[in-house]
Structure 1
Amino acid sequence: MQQAIAILDSGVGGLTVVKEVMRQLPQEKVIYFGDTARTPYGPRPADEVLTFTNQLVDYLIQFNPKMIVIACNTATAVALEQIRDRLDIPVLGVISPGARAAIKTTRSGIVGVIGTEGTIRSEAYEQALKTISPTIQVHSLACPALVPLVERGLYFSEEAVDTVRDSLQPLLDKPMDCLILGCTHYPFLTEAIARVVDPEVTLISSADETAREISTILYHRGMLATTKDIPVHQFFCSGDAEMFHLITGSWLREQLLGTPVVWQVPTFV
């Protein structure tokens, strides 16, 4: 049986990583878990986020995946090292790939970061950026209104543009040349964000960069799928299955076309 790449998130945000994985690695099987019943993780205490992340990992491990991807910036900041310490398969987060992409992109050495309250409070992006480039300047901003907007499926609405404009207002006058979308929900809002920020500001999606790193790790470890069979993807959520199915089907329409999919709602939460 083909081993899968297991991807988890606090909700639907990790689907942005799934989309890039399916685009770059179409032969790979994906198992995705969105903890939609308990989203967002950003405002929650770190110990609660750690508990929830471990629960999702424990559930996914039963499927014998070859890699775990924590496609949630808040969970990455809190739980990545602990999960890595207890598993013997590769475990990847979304913060380091986004930070490296920003370092490669910036010309001015001034970078903006938007994320959940938990991610911004952890200063994980600032630490990752300064580890690579100690002189870099970072402007960080928590945008708690954005995740609920995406979870409601409103990412292409005029309400999205208004909410993004209000949320990003404190950053708009800052001298930066790239902006890290430091939450995997935020690429859903790329169009709205692009309408609000200076057109000279490059948007950095941690989701895109994470998918590239997944590909690199699997290649160098000789773990890429070798079968030519069409993979059967599995999607799990802990909350509203109808909304989850709707958003997933819309976001991954091209990737899932003609592909077998299994949808399930676990009862462990």
Structure 2
Amino acid sequence: MNDAPIGVFDSGLGGLTVARAIIDQLPGEDVIYLGDSANTPYGSRRLSDVRALTLAGLDRLVELGAKILVIACNTATAAALQDARERYGEQGIPVIEVVTPAAKQGAATTRNGRIGVLGTAATVRSGAYLDALRAVPDVEVIQNAAPRFVEFVEKGETTGEAVTEAARQYLAPLIAADVDTVILGCTHYPLLTGVLSRLLGPGVRLVTSSEATANATYSELIDLDLLHSPRAAGEHAHYRFLSTGESPEFSALARRFLGPEVHGVEVVAPTRRVGEDR
């Protein structure tokens, strides 16, 4: 048994969708969440910069005692997964990511073999989902970048005319390709499922990485005997939320999405800014 917390890292507040799923599936586990709001969005950055920012954030979670790391950001996964697994594997700390679980779920969900992927520009350029789905027979993947979605969510805008118009534009090539499944390749995007579902219609299923990633986290903790020891009667898990930038929207959306689990968001100094030497 290992009573250290689960560390969850994201470029901002989108990874709260993953944190929510982890808390629901593993209610006995402590969680530390770090959102790099000072450097968000990651999707428009060079992958080399995203890699540096991601490793710096994961380093901080390790310093805070995380027993397992969850990269709750598709762009960060695409940029830094291999390096992260090499770096923290040497310390005996497993690393969970969001791309593979979502790809597997998408492959299991599609009925006509046409899967759409909405992601940040960096995630789409990386080809992470194309690689993850390459071995699946009879599957065609249609990708499109949806860069404004992260900006909307980080500002707390999840409905409205501007969001709907942007969604209509981003979804157009996927609808034209007759996809029956759309993978939301960014953990910010599930906060826009109302608009996306309405535009896509009932015949298209949305796939998010949150539940699948929480399942992968649970399996890893079981396999490595890292589950938290049984708690005493009345004892609750502890949740800590950190942000590298001042963001009233972060606190508001965190409470809206996670509810009473969020007692406050701690603002911490950025671990790194793009352009700095490591």
Structure 1 consecutive aligned stretches of length 4 or more whose deviation exceeds 6 Å: none
Preserved CA contact (<8 Å) 2:117 2:183 = yes
* 1:162 matched to 2:165: yes
Counterparts of 2:27 and 2:163 in 1: how far apart (Å)? 31
Q: For 1:88-128, what per-residue CA distance to the aligned partner results, in whole angstroms no more than 9, with x for missing partners?
A: 21101100000110111112111110000000001110110
Is residue 54 of structure 1 aligned with residue 55 of structure 2?
Answer: yes
Q: Is the 8 A contact 1:178 1:202 kept in 2?
A: yes
Show the counterpart of 2:81: 80
Tell whether the 8 Å contact from 1:145 to 1:167 is kept in structure 2 after alignment: no
Q: Which among 132, 137, 143 is matched to residue 128 of structure 1?
A: 132
Q: Which residue of 2 aligns with 1:117?
A: 121
The one-letter code matched in structure 2 to 1:39 is T
1:240 to 246, 251, 274: 246
Asked if structure 1 preserves the Cα contact closer than 8 Å seen for 2:110 and 2:181, the reply is: yes
Return the alpha-carbon distance in structure 2 between the equivalents of residues 128 and 134 of structure 1. Answer: 12
TM-score (norm. length: structure 2): 0.91
* 8 Å Cα contact 1:232-1:262 kept in structure 2: no
Retained in 1: the 8 A contact 2:182–2:204?
A: yes
SS at 1:175 equivalent: coil
Q: How many angstroms apart in 1 are the aligned matches of 2:112 and 2:138?
A: 11
1:24 positional shift: 1.0
Change (3 A) 1:107 1:47: same
CA contact (8 A) 2:3 2:227 kept: no
Which letter maps to 1:96?
A: T
Number of equivalences: 264
Contact persistence 2:245–2:268 (CA under 8 A) = no
Partner of 1:265: 267
Aligned counterparts, 1:187-202, within 5 A: 187-202=190-205
Partner residue of 1:13?
14
1:262 Cα shift?
5.6
Letter paired with 1:144: P
Following superposition, the deviation at residue 58 of structure 1 comes to: 1.1
Q: What is the rounded CA distance, in whole Å, between the counterparts of 1:196 and 1:8 in structure 2?
A: 30
One-letter code of the match for 2:179? M
Q: Give, in whole Å, the separation in 2 of the partners of 1:153 and 1:27.
A: 30
Contact preservation (8 Å) 1:181, 1:187: yes
> Does the aligned pair in 2 maintain the 1:41–1:49 contact within 8 Å?
yes
Unmatched tracts of structure 2, length 5 or more: 273-278
| Residue 205 to residue 231, structure 1, CA distance change in 2 (3 Å) | same
Unaligned runs of 5+ residues in structure 1 are none
Alignment partners' CA distance in 1, 2:251 and 2:37? 11
Moved more, 160-169 or 106-115: 160-169
How far apart are the structure 1 equivalents of 2:22 and 2:101?
14
1:117-161 superposed Cα distances (whole Å, 9 cap, x missing partner): 000001110110113x14311000001010000000011444322
Write the distance in 1 (CA, Å) between the matches of 2:11 and 2:99.
15
Q: Is the 8 A contact 1:161 1:195 kept in 2?
A: no
CA 1:108–1:60 in 2, change beyond 3 Å: closer, same or farther? same
SS at match of 1:225: coil
Q: Confirm whether residue 251 of structure 1 aligns to residue 254 of structure 2.
A: no
SS of 1:172's equivalent in the other structure is helix
Which residue in 1 is equivalent to 2:148? 145
Paired letter, 2:39: R
* 2:251 and 2:264 in contact (8 A); partners too: no
State the distance in 1 between where 2:28 and 2:160 align: 34
Identity score, percent: 38
Q: Provide the C-alpha distance between the structure 1 equivalents of 2:137 and 2:175, rounded to a whole number of angstroms.
A: 24
CA RMSD of aligned residues (A): 1.5
Q: For residue 192 of structure 1, report the CA deviation from its aligned partner.
A: 0.9
* Contact 1:14–1:185 (8 Å) recurs in 2: yes
User: Under a length normalisation based on structure 1, what TM-score does the superposition of the two structures give?
Assistant: 0.93
**Does the 8 A contact of 1:115 with 1:182 survive in 2?**
yes
Cα distance in 1 for partners of 2:33, 2:95 equals: 14
